[in-house]
Amino acid sequence: MASWPAHLFLLLLCLVLLAGEATPQTAPPPSVDNSADKWARPGCRSKCGNVIIPYPFGIHNDSDPNSNCSRTPDFEINCTSDGTPYLGLGGNIEVVNIELLQGLLVVNHYIARDCYFQNGSRSKSNGASTNIIGLPNYKFSSDRNKFVAVGCDARGDIWSNRVSTFHTGCSSYCTNASFVPNGTCSGIGCCTTPIPMDLRNFSMIVYSYHNHSHCSFALCSYAFLADVDKLNFNLSSFTEYETREMAPLTLDWAIMGKTCEQANGTGDFACVSPNSFCWNSTNGPGYLCNCSEGFQGNPYLNDSINGCSDIDECSADKSPCVKWCHNREGSYYCSCPWYMYGDGRRDGSGCTSILRILYLSLGVGLSLFFLIAIGSLLYWIYKKRKLEELKQHFFEKNGGSLRPDIRLFSSEELEAASDNYNQTRILGEGGTGTVYRGVLPDQNLIAIKKAKISNDEAEVQQFINEVEVLSRINHRNVVKLLGCCLETQVPMLVYEFVPNGTLAHHVHGEGRRGSLSLEARLRISSEVAGSLSYLHSAASTPVIHRDVKTTNILLDHNLTAKVSDFGASRLVPLDQNGLVSLIRGTFGYLDPEYFQTGEFTDKSDVYSFGVVLVELLTGKKPVAKMQAVKNLATLFMECVNSGRLVEILEQRVVDEGTPELLDAAAELAMKCLSLNSHDRPLMREVAMELEALTRRTRIHPWGNVNVEEGDSLLSKVGSSSPSVLRDYVNSSIEPMVPFEIVR
């Protein structure tokens, strides 16, 4: 009697043989990527309303008539403001759909009608119609369209005599509604007749033999050219066409003028994509393009991405192979495992099992399999438990038990949102971490601040401090903290996504110099000042930012300012005026008094803001080599005190500002940059002054402003003279020694 391993071997062998038998199947056709952007010419609009506009068609651009979004003017699409596409710039042919690879264009077309009252008198009629396509690349499709007449006493005729004469028509009768068949157009209530090829224009007429006197339920006759695939005639069609003005018909289009043989090799050949081929139109002269077998895309685009690209037949949901699929350029091949034979194709012989598994190897293999499976399961459980313990450790270490009431993201959520922190998602990098753009499952954009791995507890504390500060702040000009992740070695912060980059990029970025108007600069500075005023005096617990600079000011799509990066910020108890700490900040923005004493107050933010205001007025970086090594604040104060203010201002600021306005803005900056913190204004005073200056730029964007309008709000508080030159001409300023503060 055979032992139990022999029985087990036979049972498993049968299962292997049964599982290995493959029934040949037809391979599913490769899907086509129909995303709109893939079909339009790069840089051109790809949709008008819900209609995809593929090249050689293109949407006309009124602001740039030479944009070349279409191959020729005949292929231009006029997209109206309500999102309706029309063929040609001045055309009235509404486009419904463009079938690029089939050379078809579905458009809406007028219906001719002839209606009567029950007494037999005519109620309304536009029974005659002439239809002409004035563009040379289009013809009425003889394969898809037929001439249709609808009615119970209707005669429709269609003819053309512009190129070659043809005349045809059909008649439709019915006396009882119950006789009308649904879904067919066979002569009872509806009739059709074909049209010839190469038809570019036609005239049609519809009329009644007996004025519908014997048909009370259908008192109108209709005639039109229609795509029969979209025609679904039934009894309700009699009333439907009473209010319906248009019916869809299909046009054949082609690249006119030449055949494939004549056009190939010329500079105007349309099939420019590699792996494309040309085929002659079946409806008159002209040719069309398509991708070769195994490729998909737009054959009219010479682009490796949007043109004809390789189809990956081995994708999981459409693999044509039974077992293993190997993609090739324009094709694929299949293979079978070592214990099977055949061509591996579903539409071929498939893969068939063979007997190659020996008795002993099967028993040993099964034993090893179970041992490995059990060991792998136990190891997975162990690793998962250790990972959960590590996450809990990091959660407690990063202040999870004392966290503010904000959303907690898991590390898996943020990895998925940032595509596993893909390098292409980086928005910015700093000394302590990197900011990534993320997309949540609900498609909302976020910014993820991921710290660099470090054993420095101070950096971890800096992230925790930013959570604590931002959780207490709710201001339109302060970047909003959406949540954080505390289960990683270093906590990660999640902010609202601010799409327009930093203020520094708009002021100093390559190609951006002079891109901001004076009004925008003053408005942005007013918004920043307002947010700092809120932090200093309106927040539940006052906050000192400690690192105000243009790289920490973000701009949204409306160029609205958002103050960010509160890692160095501190909450100040209401009974204290300042705090003492190690020097933290950025060279060029740092308050000299704070640098000397180590004590920072809200006036330290005022000084840093003054440097930001000077950056906006001059367009210069806070530290630059000009004659000698000086920072921008020192250089600006020297220019003002020596009466050379205009020399340091950016040209656009000078061009758009009045002398009084520029004098007031410079005076405000000088007050903020005072070396003695007691001489600097409060941020709320700065915000009020900038709001007033911003209003003046809106009221007087180019003209002069009288002295009464130009009075400085701050001059009424702490200055007797509105002139920057007179206030500071006698002040002595010590040049600051350059230094570097590493954050």
Question: 417 CB contacts (<8 Å, ≥6 apart)?
Answer: 438, 439, 440, 446, 448
Residue 14 has pLDDT above 70, yes or no: no
Measure Cα distances from 567 to 186, 449, 546, 627, 731 in Å: 79, 11, 9, 35, 36
Pull the structure tokens for residue 387: 């990972």
pLDDT score at 134:
67
Pull the structure tokens for residue 240: 């439907």
Report the distance separating Cα 388 and Cα 403, nearest Å.
19
Please, are residues 525 and 616 in contact by the beta-carbon 8 Å criterion?
Answer: yes
Report the distance separating Cα 36 and Cα 51, nearest Å.
9
Report the distance separating Cα 588 and Cα 623, nearest Å.
6
What domains can you pick out in the chain, each with its CATH number?
A: 27-100 (no CATH), 107-247 (no CATH), 257-303 (no CATH), 312-360 (2.10.25), 385-497 (3.30.200.20), 500-743 (1.10.510.10)
Q: Which residue has the higher pLDDT, 492 or 241?
A: 492
Q: Residue 56, preceding bond cis, omega within 30 degrees?
A: yes
Residue 557 has pLDDT above 70, yes or no: yes
Report the distance separating Cα 495 and Cα 582, nearest Å.
27
Please, are residues 214 and 98 in contact by the beta-carbon 8 Å criterion?
Answer: no
Q: Strand, helix or coil at 736?
A: coil
30 CB neighbour count, 10 Å cutoff: 17
Q: Which residue has the higher pLDDT, 320 or 358?
A: 320
Question: 342 CB contacts (<8 Å, ≥6 apart)?
Answer: 22, 322, 336, 348, 349, 350, 351, 352
Please, are residues 398 and 457 in contact by the beta-carbon 8 Å criterion?
Answer: no
Please, are residues 276 and 292 in contact by the beta-carbon 8 Å criterion?
Answer: yes
If you average pLDDT over residues 246-257, what whole number do you get?
Answer: 89
Please, are residues 637 and 734 in contact by the beta-carbon 8 Å criterion?
Answer: no
Pull the structure tokens for residue 257: 């003028």
Measure Cα distances from 577 to 143, 208, 376, 448, 468 in Å: 86, 96, 61, 34, 20
Q: How confident is the model at residue 260 (pLDDT cuts 50, 70, 90)?
A: very high
For residue 511, the 8-state DSSP code is T
What are 287's strand-pairing partners? Answer: 255, 280
Q: Which residue has the higher pLDDT, 432 or 606?
A: 606
If you average pLDDT over residues 670-691, what whole number do you get?
Answer: 94
Q: What percent of the chain has pLDDT over 90?
A: 36
**Sign for the pseudo-dihedral over CA of 685, 691, 693, 696:** negative
Q: What pLDDT, in 10s, does the model give residues 71-86?
A: 888 899 999 889 899 9
Q: How confident is the model at residue 474 (pLDDT cuts 50, 70, 90)?
A: confident
Q: How confident is the model at residue 579 (pLDDT cuts 50, 70, 90)?
A: low
Pull the structure tokens for residue 2: 């055979």
- Tracing tokens 């042919």 back to the chain, one arrives at 93
Residue 569 has pLDDT above 90, yes or no: no
Instruction: List the one residue out of 242, 230, 152 whose CA is nearest residue 191.
Output: 152
Q: Which residue has the higher pLDDT, 34 or 406?
A: 406
Report the distance separating Cα 430 and Cα 329, nearest Å.
43
Please, are residues 170 and 149 in contact by the beta-carbon 8 Å criterion?
Answer: yes
Measure Cα distances from 199 to 111, 141, 167, 195, 223 in Å: 18, 8, 12, 8, 18
- Active-site option among 157, 227, 547, 663: 547
Write out the H or E segment, with its range, that includes residue 328: strand 324-328
Lowest mean pLDDT of 180-189, 519-528, 640-649, name the range.
180-189
Q: Residue 738, preceding bond cis, omega within 30 degrees?
A: no
Q: How confident is the model at residue 241 (pLDDT cuts 50, 70, 90)?
A: confident
Instruction: List the one residue out of 378, 333, 454, 350 whose CA is nearest residue 26.
Output: 350
Pull the structure tokens for residue 183: 């879904």
Furthest C-alpha separation in the chain: 117
Please, are residues 85 and 78 in contact by the beta-carbon 8 Å criterion?
Answer: yes
Please, are residues 394 and 410 in contact by the beta-carbon 8 Å criterion?
Answer: no
Report the distance separating Cα 108 and Cα 137, nearest Å.
18
Is residue 303 annotated as a catalytic residue, yes or no?
no
If you average pLDDT over residues 687-705, what whole number do you get?
Answer: 74
Q: What pLDDT, in 10s, does the model give residues 31-53?
A: 444 455 678 888 888 899 999 99
Mean residue pLDDT across the chain: 80
Report the distance separating Cα 726 and Cα 728, nearest Å.
6
Write out the H or E segment, with its range, that includes residue 391: helix 359-397
Please, are residues 719 and 695 in contact by the beta-carbon 8 Å criterion?
Answer: no
